[in-house]
Structure 1
C-alpha cells in the first residue's frame, strides 16, 4: 500500500518536473479555481440583490512560517474582500455596492457635488443633481477564521548502494465563514461554512557513489510544488457564495429566472452533495451511519493444525455466526464451525466448535473497517468420539479481520484466527509440554438487520 501510494505521488509530481520554467512569462488572466466554473454555471437569476461588503478579512492573525528567524508577512492574503466581491459579481445573483473604501467614494462625490453647484450657479441652472447612492438590502459579513498548517504530513523514500529517492507531502487547511444579514432588521438570514485543503509536494532523487579510487560521483534532482494560497482562498470563497445562493433559493430569499422546477433541481443536487461532504471527516474518511444492530454471517475457508505431528496440511472450514452490537464499536457474537484438522497420513479428523467472542470494530463508520475479537469456547471431535475417552476440549481464541460494507444490509469480511486448546489430545497424542492449537482463515458474507 505504501509503495502504491508513493508511486502515485511520484507520477503526479512528474507533471511539475517536466514543466519546469526556464524563462520569464508574460502576465495572464487569473486562473480559475475548482469552484469557479460551478459558480459561473448557475442559472440566470430572476433579480439581482444589492449587497454590501464592508470587510471580509483575515481573522487568523497568523504570520507566514519561516525556517529561520521571524517574519511580519501574513500567512493568508489580506485581499479576501476583493475576492469576495469578484465572486459575487461572477455569480449574477448579486449587485455588489462599494463599501470597503466608502470614505474615498464619499470624498469624490463631495467634489462632484461642489463642482456641479458652481456649474449650476454660474453657467447652467438646468444641470441635473448628483444621483443618490445605492443602498444594500443585504450585508455580507464573516472572514477567514482558520489557517491550520501540517494537518497531514508524510512521505516515502528508499536508498540502495548510494541510489535513492524520496517523496514528501504536506497538507494545510483554510476555513471561512460567510453570513448574510438583512439590513432591514439585522436578522442573520444564512451562515455558510467552507473549508479547503492546501497541498504541498516534493520529489527528490540522488546518486552518491565512488566510481573509482578517490573519484566520487554525486548527482541530485528534485521538484517542489505548492498549491497557491490565494487560489485556495478564492476557491473557498467561491464555494461559499455558491452555497449561499442555493440555500437562499431553498428558503425563497431569491430565485432563478427559470422558476420552480429549476430551483427544485438545484436544491436537490445541493442537498445530496452536502450530505456526501458532511459524511467525510477531516482526513477524507467517508463516514456512514449504520443503524443495524444484529449481524448474521456465513463463512468458508481453511484450517491449519499445529499439533504433535510434524506434517501440516490445510483443511476446510465452514462457519455460521451471529453478532449483536452493544455500542457502535463493541459487540459480542456466537459462532459455530465445522472444520477439518489434517496432519496427512498421521492424523486427520473432523471437528466442530462453539465459541463466544467479544468484538471491537476499530472504524465502525467506514466502508472498510478492521476489527479484532477474542473469547472462549469448546471444540468437539466428530469422527473419533466413540474411540477415545475425551472428545470435548475447552479452548480460547483471538483473531483479527477486515470488513467491507457493500450496503447498509450486506458486507464482506476476511479474518484470521488463532485457537488455543487447553489439551494436548486433539490429535490423540500427548507429546511435549505444549498444548495443541490450530488456525482458521476465512472469507464471509455478513447480513445486517434489526429485530
Structure 2
C-alpha cells in the first residue's frame, strides 16, 4: 500500500513537472511572438506598387459641382509594419455642370499608418503635402491632403483597398474664379489594388533573434525546473 501511494506521488510530481515545462515553453513563445511579429511580411511586404480608379469632386466658388474621373499610380515604402512613406501620381478632372471642366494632376507625398499590419483586414490613415497642377502645368499650387480607408488582403501580397482623401489647395483660383474668403478644395474617392513585394531580409532579421530568445527562455525554464 505504501509503495503504491509513493508511486502515485512520484507519478503526480512527474506529470506536474511536464505540465509546468510545457506551460513555460508556450509562455516564452507567446511573449516572443508578441514582441517579434512577422505576419506582416507574409501577408504584405516592405514595398508596394498601387493603382486605383475612382472619382473626384471640387468644392470651390461655383454651384453644381460634378463627379469626374480619377486615377492613381503610386509607390510606398514601409519603414515599419505600421508606418510607410507613400509617393503618388494622381490624374483627375474637376468640373461644374455646364460651366467648367478642367484636367489636373497632383504629386503627393504622405506618411501612412496601417492600424493592423499583421491582419488581413486593416484600416489606414495618411496625411502629407503635394503639388497640384493643371494640364501642361499652366497653373500650379502647393496643397495639403489627408484621408483614410480600409484594406483587405485578398491573396498573399495582394490587397484591395477603398479610400478617400481631402485636398486643401493654397490657391483660390483652382476653378478659374477668385471669390470668397477661403481657398479651393476637392475630394477624391477610389477603389484600388496594392501589390506588395520584398521584406524577406527584414523578416529574417526578426526571426533569427526570435529563435535565440526562445531557446534562451527554454534553457532558463529548464534550469529553474531542475533546481
TM-score, L = length of structure 2: 0.74
Please give the alpha-carbon distance, in whole angstroms, between the structure 1 residues aligned to 2:165 and 2:4: 77
| Aligned partner of residue 290 in structure 1, secondary structure | helix
> After superposition, where does 1:136-285 map in structure 2 within 5 Å?
138=11, 139-141=14-16, 179-180=17-18, 190-192=21-23
CA deviation after TM superposition for structure 1 residue 441, in Å = 0.4
Question: Which residue does the alignment assign to 1:346?
Answer: 99
Question: Which residue does the alignment assign to 2:40?
Answer: 290
Please give the alpha-carbon distance, in whole angstroms, between the structure 2 residues aligned to 1:192 and 1:427: 67
CA deviation after TM superposition for structure 1 residue 408, in Å = 3.4
Q: In the TM superposition, what whole-angstrom CA distance separates every residue of 1:22-59 from its partner, at most 9, and x where no partner exists?
A: xxxxxxxxxxxxxxxxxxxxxxxxxxxxxxxxxxxxxx
Please give the alpha-carbon distance, in whole angstroms, between the structure 1 residues aligned to 2:47 and 2:167: 25
Please give the alpha-carbon distance, in whole angstroms, between the structure 1 residues aligned to 2:198 and 2:118: 17
Alignment of 1:133 onto 2:4: yes
**Which of the residues 98, 109, 115 maps onto 1:356?**
109
Task: Tell me which protein shows more helix as a share of its residues.
Answer: 2
Question: Which residue does the alignment assign to 1:444?
Answer: 192
CA deviation after TM superposition for structure 1 residue 288, in Å = 6.4
Q: How many residues align?
A: 187
Runs of 4+ in structure 1 off by over 2 angstroms are: 132-138
Question: Which residue does the alignment assign to 1:369?
Answer: 122
Unaligned 5+ residue runs, structure 2? 200-227
| Aligned partner of residue 155 in structure 2, secondary structure | coil
CA deviation after TM superposition for structure 1 residue 406, in Å = 2.1
User: What is the root-mean-square deviation of aligned Cα atoms in Å?
Assistant: 2.9
Q: In the TM superposition, what whole-angstrom CA distance separates every residue of 1:385-421 from its partner, at most 9, and x where no partner exists?
A: 5xxxx51111110001111122331111111100000
Question: Which residue does the alignment assign to 1:303?
Answer: 56
Q: Which has the higher contact order (CA 8 A, sep 6+)?
A: 2
TM-score, L = length of structure 1: 0.38
**Counterpart contact for 1:315–1:341, Cα < 8 Å:** yes
Please give the alpha-carbon distance, in whole angstroms, between the structure 1 residues aligned to 2:151 and 2:38: 14
